[in-house]
Amino acid sequence: MVAVTARYVVLGLARPRTPWFGEVGAWSAGGATPVDFVRCLTAEEVRARLAGGQRISALLVDSRAPGLDRDVLNSARRADVAVIVVDDGAVDRDWHAIGATAVLPAPFVEDDLVALLADHAPAVPPTPLPGPGADGPTERVGRLIAVTGSGGSGTSVLAMALAQHLGGRTHGDVLLADLALDADQAMLHAAPDVVPGLTDLVESHRLGTPDPSAVRSTTFEVHGRHYRLLLGLHRHRDWADLRPANVAATVDSLLREFPTVVVDVDADVEGARDCGVVEVEERNVLARTVLGRAEVVIVVGNGGTKGIHALTRTLQRLAAFGVEPTRTIPVLNGSTGIGQRWRRAPQAIDDLVAEAGDDLRRRTVTVPWHRGVEAALRDGGPLPRALGAPLAAALATTASAGRSHREEPVPVPAVAPGRPG
């Protein structure tokens, strides 16, 4: 058996497009070094992470990084974090005199970095595995329900309505999780801040698994709506800090803690095999993880010509990704209940995705327009029951039909075998 060695948790700060910054990230992601590399975009973010309580080994900082000064270096030293300055020779400064632990000339290779870390930085020991007879994690696994759709179709509001309806029937303990890149649930819930949230929860899974109380503490109770809320990314660009294994472990923890998890998520599942760009797959890690594992995927669209086109295009993309049509529920949002075009919309969906071999028209749900939605969002009150009830009814039928033959999707490698990586 190969022994599990300690690793180094390293914060990084550099100018945009600094070569070594991307190289260290690639070494970390590919396992070439025993380093968990956390990219920071500003000196303020470095200070926040140093004060966040996470065990950090070193700060690897570019000599010309914006905001780099004695205070940043002293903040690291006070936190017992080694400071390694990457010096390209452009700045003539005595880095040791202002608090640097070591100076690493640029360019450098993996062994240079690892040698300095071994000499100056404390390693973070691995999370011990439970011994014989130790209690393992609970086996309870909740239901994962994804709500997705094109922009402007009302996906986020319907995810809220479904979580409210399910929470009301089960006396709470339903989680609404915002896993969209442009996270809107904080705005829709008038949250004064987005901390803690998804970024913090994923970060806590980098080197271990937090206990259930810690997972629950990152969520907030939404009074009057019978569910708890996990806020999303602080900023769209924070997807760069997410790694597939950490995201998957986070979803596992949520499903162990909550019997039902409703996820507001994007529909973009494009990966490296589709476009040849690994970074696109990394950007879409939230959608690819959730939609690949969800028990049911609710796909929302509007009833107009463009809305039906966007809805069917999303259904086709999900089917190509590996989401079985039997797991999907098409939803036409905002129906007025009148008009020949609206009544013919489910048939149009069925015709456009006929190659899926499934009767989507039979399972298409229409959700009526309701004048009380804006007032409920503005005042923080319960959403109209008419929004969540039809979704919950369709959910029960679809889940029971698909549960017996549900198979886990086969992971798709980021780079196909035999091709240069």
Least confident of 13-22, 173-182, 268-277, 401-410: 401-410
Using DSSP's 3-state secondary structure scheme, residue 36 falls into strand
pLDDT digits (tens, 9 = 90+) for 293-328: 999 999 999 877 788 888 888 988 998 899 988 899
Lowest mean pLDDT, pick from 106-110, 127-131, 255-259: 127-131
For residue 405, is pLDDT > 60? no
- 163 and 31 housed in the same domain: no
**CA triplet 397, 401, 406: central angle to 5 degrees?**
130
In a domain, 397, yes or no: yes
Q: Which helix (H) or strand (E) holds 324?
A: none
Are both 257 and 116 inside the same structural domain?
Answer: no
Sheet harboring 82-87: ordered strands across?
A: 35-40, 8-13, 58-62, 82-87, 102-105
Give the CATH number of the domain where residue 391 resides. 3.40.50.300
Is 100 contained in some domain? Answer: yes
Residue 78 shares a structural domain with residue 148 = no
What per-residue confidence (pLDDT) applies to 412? 45
| pLDDT of res. 126 | 56
For residue 132, the surrounding DSSP H or E stretch is none
Which structural domain, as residue segments, surrounds residue 231? 143-405
Instruction: Render pLDDT for 321-357 as a digit per residue (tens, 0 to 9).
Output: 999 888 999 998 875 444 445 555 565 565 655 555 4
Strand partners, 302: 333
Would 132 be classed as within a structural domain? no
Predicted model pTM:
0.63
Count of structural domains within the chain = 2
By C-alpha distance, which of 301, 331, 334 is closest to 391?
Answer: 331
Asked whether residue 411 is assigned to any structural domain, the reply reads no
Same domain, 156 and 92: no
Residues 81 and 187 in one domain: no
pLDDT at 127 over 50: no
The CA distance from 371 to 390, in Å, is 17
Is the pLDDT at 404 greater than 60, yes or no? no
Fill in the amino acid letter for 279. E
More confident residue, 193 or 308: 308
Q: Is 404 exposed, middle or buried (0-12, 13-18, 19+ CB in 10 A)?
A: exposed
Q: How far apart are the first and last CA of the chain?
A: 29
Closest CA to 312 of 354, 265, 343: 354
Tokens read off for 270: 């494009």
Going by C-beta distance under 8 Å and a sequence separation of 6 or more, which residues neighbour residue 17? Answer: none
Burial 356-373 (b: 16+ CB within 10 A, else e): bebebeebbbbbeebeeb
Neighbours of 312 (CB within 10 A): 21
Look at the alpha carbons of 50, 56, 57, 62 in this order and tell me if their dihedral is positive or negative. negative
In one-letter notation, the amino acid at residue 163 is A
In 3D space, the residue among 292, 290, 271, 286 whose CA is nearest the CA of residue 238 turns out to be 286
Supply 218's token pair.
Answer: 């990152």
Residue 55 pLDDT greater than 60, yes or no: yes
The rounded distance, in Å, linking the Cα atoms of 125 and 48 is 23
311 and 379 housed in the same domain: yes
Sign of the torsion angle spanned by Cα atoms 196, 30, 144, 327: positive
**Mean pLDDT of all residues belonging to the chain:** 81
| CATH code for position 52 | 3.40.50.2300
β partners of residue 298 = 147, 329
